[in-house]
Amino acid sequence: MIRITREADYGILLMTGLAQAESQALSAAVLAQQRRLPLPMASKILKALARAGLLVSQRGAQGGYSLARSPAAISAADIIGALEGPIAITECSGENHDGCSRLEHCEVSGHWPRINQAIHAALQSISLLEMSRPDPPQPIRLHPFRPATTATTGHPL
């Protein structure tokens, strides 16, 4: 199973809270309380998102965090990438292929970048604006796996 980390999941929750705040700066404490997250974890994530340029941090009594761009201009891929690094489902699907000791003997390594690109494109196509709306669109329905059959017998390969 492919999963995003808890940090990326919480990052998306925090970012949707800021998108719903409509340009109002919110403190880490307020965001953590709103989203029912531990304050130390929320603070760590917000600082990472600010370092990545997705948030603006303001000090002072009226300070806090706000989005650096409009919610429509921030994607799920931007948030996940800021917290987890480049999106790569295997060592050889990322930009650096040096991490795989089996690369020269692997028959499928050439396909992983294409799969990785499809996942990245899907995450890039979902904006923070969409994710911050209360009524999400219907989930994508995937077709169940059906084994290939031979053309002459109709039996599974």
Q: In the chain, where are the structural domains located?
A: 6-131
b (16+ CB within 10 A) / e for 63-74: ebbbbeeebeeb
User: Cβ atoms within 10 A of the Cβ of 16, count?
Assistant: 19
**8-26 pLDDT, tens per residue?**
999 999 999 999 998 889 9
Between CA 56 and CA 73 the distance in angstroms is 15
**79-126 pLDDT, tens per residue?**
999 999 888 777 666 565 555 666 667 777 677 788 888 999 999 999
Displacement of CA 79 from its chain's centroid (Å): 5
- The domain 6-131 is classified under which CATH number: 3.40.50.720, 1.10.10.10, 1.10.940.10, 3.20.20.60? 1.10.10.10
pTM as predicted: 0.77
Between CA 155 and CA 157 the distance in angstroms is 6
Q: How far is CA 106 from CA 52, 100, 111, 117, in A?
A: 35, 10, 10, 19
